[in-house]
Structure 1
Amino acid sequence: MINTEWYSIRALTLPATAVALLITFFIVWLILRVQFSKKWSEVYADANFTFLIVWKLSLLVTDFKAVVNNPMTLLYFNGGTIGVYLGVIVVSLQIWRKRHNLQLEKQDIIPCSWAIILTQSIYQMIVVLLNDNTTSSEIITLVVLSVLTIIILWKLAAMKQALLLYTVGYLIVALFQTLGIWQTTVGVSVVLLCLGLAIQYERINVGGKE
């Protein structure tokens, strides 16, 4: 989806995509808090905080000279696409490093799947609502992701193939969007899929738990 709208929050002017991301983080945190143990909402909150910090500070990587000339640019700007990928990669490494401290069991694959799938789906849906893209791509995104998310989370979340099934479904949806499969969210989806599959493999296959 292409960002077409900007929203002002006091002195800050944020693109609709950034607003959608903040709303998504809160909604998914609340769902995890209600649906699962407090541990999962805390892990999710920590991951979100890390992502936002890395995303904002990534401007040091993408435009170091501008930050040196005016440090206040860190408040108003971010590292863009590169910053998003850096944030997701750092969060993935953070969760992977903490996996033993979290004492993940086979049943914990379900909240992992919920967190990854809900974050992507809700973000995409809010982006659709806040921006003005082609009607056909918006309808396809809302309908397909809604149905796919509901089916997977309520019926198939415990399956090892749940994340793969969702990612494949999202890739198909992306084909009907303006930017196609080359948009940043597709790359993020693949990274999160790899993280989810890695955790599943270690907890289920290596641990010998079925």
Structure 2
Amino acid sequence: MSDTTMYMIGSISVPSSWIALAVAFVIAFGVVRIRSGKLPADVFSDALFYFIIVWKLSVILTNFETVIKSPLSIIYFNGGIVGFYLGLAVAGVRIVFEIRKNYSVERLVALFVGAVTVQVVYQILMVAMNPDDWIVNLVTIGLFLGFGVLVWINVHKSRSWAIQLTVLWIAVHVFVAAFQEDGITATPVIATACIGVFFAICLNFKRESEEKL
């Protein structure tokens, strides 16, 4: 989904993607907190915090000269695509650190639900703030919302279900992206693929570890 709309918050112009992400993070945190309790919600919020901080501060690496000339540019800019993926990597390391501390499959599933919720809310808000062809809008909202409901209802029923849903998540986003302007190589699609594979590996590892006990 293309980011074409800017919104004024005070005296600052903010792209719609930032607003969509912020709202998605808040809603996702609430979903994890209500469904799974304080501990998974705390880990989820920590991962989001590290992602945002690294994404924002990575502008120092990607645009060092600008930051040196104008330190306040850190407030207005971020590390772009490079910083985005660095943020994801650091958030992933944070989750892996928790997994090593005897983190259960159920709590890991809760984090996966949070990640899916972020993507579902983000996509719906981006459609609302950046209107596109009605068919693209319908496909985007229908499939993401449908997948979100499927996850929220079924993900805790079975550990095998959870792993299969990570793969289905990637497939759904690739299918939706085929209708969108940016196509299947867009950053959100690649991010979904990375996060989906990450959770699939982690869930399978934890399931096998617990079955050996």
Q: TM-score, normalised by structure 1?
A: 0.93
> What do you get for the CA RMSD once the two structures are aligned?
1.6
1:74-100 superposed Cα distances (whole Å, 9 cap, x missing partner): 011111122211111111112112222
Q: How does 1:41-52 map to 2 (within 5 A)?
A: 41-52=41-52
Please report how far the alpha carbon of residue 209 of structure 1 lies from its aligned counterpart in structure 2 after TM superposition: 6.3
1:10-45 superposed Cα distances (whole Å, 9 cap, x missing partner): 132210000000000001111111111111111111
Residue number in structure 1 paired with 2:138: 139
Secondary structure of the residue aligned to 2:131 is: coil
Structure 2 CA distance for aligned equivalents of residues 137 and 162 of structure 1: 23
Structure 2 CA distance for aligned equivalents of residues 75 and 148 of structure 1: 35
Letter in 1 for 2:121: I
1:42-73 superposed Cα distances (whole Å, 9 cap, x missing partner): 11111111111111111112111111111110
Structure 1 CA distance for aligned equivalents of residues 71 and 205 of structure 2: 43
CA 1:58–1:189: 2 relative to 1, 3 Å: same
Structure 2 CA distance for aligned equivalents of residues 56 and 109 of structure 1: 26
Q: Is the 8 A contact 2:32 2:111 kept in 1?
A: no
Secondary structure of the residue aligned to 2:211 is: coil
Q: TM-score, normalised by structure 2?
A: 0.92
Structure 1 CA distance for aligned equivalents of residues 120 and 202 of structure 2: 21
Residue number in structure 1 paired with 2:176: 173
- Percent identity over the alignment is 26
Which consecutive aligned stretches of 4+ in structure 1 deviate over 4 angstroms post-superposition? Answer: none
Residue number in structure 1 paired with 2:78: 78
Secondary structure of the residue aligned to 1:208 is: helix
Residue number in structure 2 paired with 1:186: 189
Aligned length: 209
Name whichever of 148-157 and 171-180 sits farther off.
148-157
Letter in 2 for 1:29: F
Structure 1 CA distance for aligned equivalents of residues 82 and 186 of structure 2: 12
- Structure 1 gaps of 5+ residues are none
